[in-house]
Structure 1
């Protein structure tokens, strides 16, 4: 069993890292290169870059950000937002990404996931899910950075995506995202029960304890943070110390 991963999520708009609530009301945080380098030096395990407006405008301008990061950051980099074709994946990998996260294009044509996994390997393809609660144990998958409804049941969708060959799934709760009210643990547990592939939980962490609970009780494989790190509510070292103190093996050392 691999140690759980602590992931920094950087939502990108233009030249800036931004942060919102429920994927809306975006606030500028700072320059992607400086923020990513700071987290890398602090010991972050991975970084996910999400182009917040790529699907809306039908383009992807994030690759220059990835090229900069790949020069001096040596942890896995994932790119999401605007990944619509095989050519988009090729461009992302050439820019320095290790993985791509796909949402809108996959819902529009699920076989894209199989084609991508067969061409680049399952380890390269992440299903990104924007989940909106619709009932006690039901969530709808949204697209276009939470702007568009699909009518698709999240739990059925992650199960289908696993059968199509994706390597992992990143689940973001639209209801909790940016609120710092805690994760939607019901969502994480429900997804965990439906798939055997690695699950990344994202959206809503406000305390270090939220991350520990997700890793232990929800049995997910990684947690992705934005607000918790961006606003210095907790540092990478504090989070990892808490995870380690809970009896979970974790990579502690920081990068030079």
Structure 2
């Protein structure tokens, strides 16, 4: 079993790091650069940047933020939001990102998944899915920060995205996001069991037990977290220690000499 990855999620609006509940009700947290450096130095395995207003402008505006981060942060960076084309993906990757996560444009034109995967490698193509529960055990994929319905069944869409070349699936539970009530374990588990690539669980982490449940019961390969870190409810070291105590494999981090 590969290591469980711990991934701080940085939702960005303009120059600011923000946080909301159910992807709405956004509050400014601070300077994303300061938080990114702090998390990387604290032992984060990767960083996930999400341009949460990209759909309003029709493009991703994070290239300057990513370029500055890449100079000081030496962990893999994934960028999501407003990536609509091969050119958009190339621009973000050249800015210093290692992966692009695509939601809306992939729903509108699934072939984009194959194009990005072939051009930059499947490891650089992350299918991002925003899921809302419609009935027990059934979720619909949404776009535009959980505002627009797609009519797509989440699990079926994840399977199709992987068939087209996605090397990872980032699944955000809109129902749980920002609530600190825990991940949607059934959602994560269904996707994890349906696809052969890593699944990143996002939306709902409030305590270390939620991470353990997502990994053990949901079979997640990586955990994305925001609120618990931004507001100092937990540190990455707290989370890593809890993972080790639960016999979950995580990267060992040593600081200093």
TM value normalised by structure 1: 0.98
Q: How many residues are matched?
A: 256
**Residues in 1 aligned to 2:248 and 2:60: alpha-carbon distance in whole angstroms:** 37
Partners of 2:213 and 2:61 in 1: how far apart? 36
3-state secondary structure, aligned to 1:83: coil
Residue 59 of structure 1: CA displacement?
A: 2.1
Q: Which residue of structure 1 aligns with residue 57 of structure 2?
A: 57
Residue 143 of structure 2 is aligned to residue 140 of structure 1: no
Q: Which position in structure 2 is the counterpart of 1:88?
A: 88
CA-based RMSD of the aligned residues comes to 0.9
Q: Deviations along 1:187-230, whole A, 9 cap, x unmatched?
A: 11111121111000000011011001111111110000000111
Distance in 2 between the 1:232 and 1:206 partners?
A: 11
Deviations 1:168-197 (A, max 9, x none): 000000000000011111111111121111
Change (3 A) 1:254 1:35: farther
Gaps of at least 5 residues in structure 2 are none
Aligned pair 1:76/2:76, yes or no?
Answer: yes
Q: 1:149 and 1:124 mapped to 2: Cα distance?
A: 26
TM superposition score normalised by structure 2: 0.98
Query: 2:182 maps to what in 1?
Result: 182
Partner in structure 1 of residue 7 of structure 2: 7
Aligned pairs for 1:152-163 (under 5 A) are 152-163=152-163
Shift of 1:250: 1.1
> Helix, strand or coil for the counterpart of 1:82?
coil
Alignment gaps of 5+ in structure 1: none
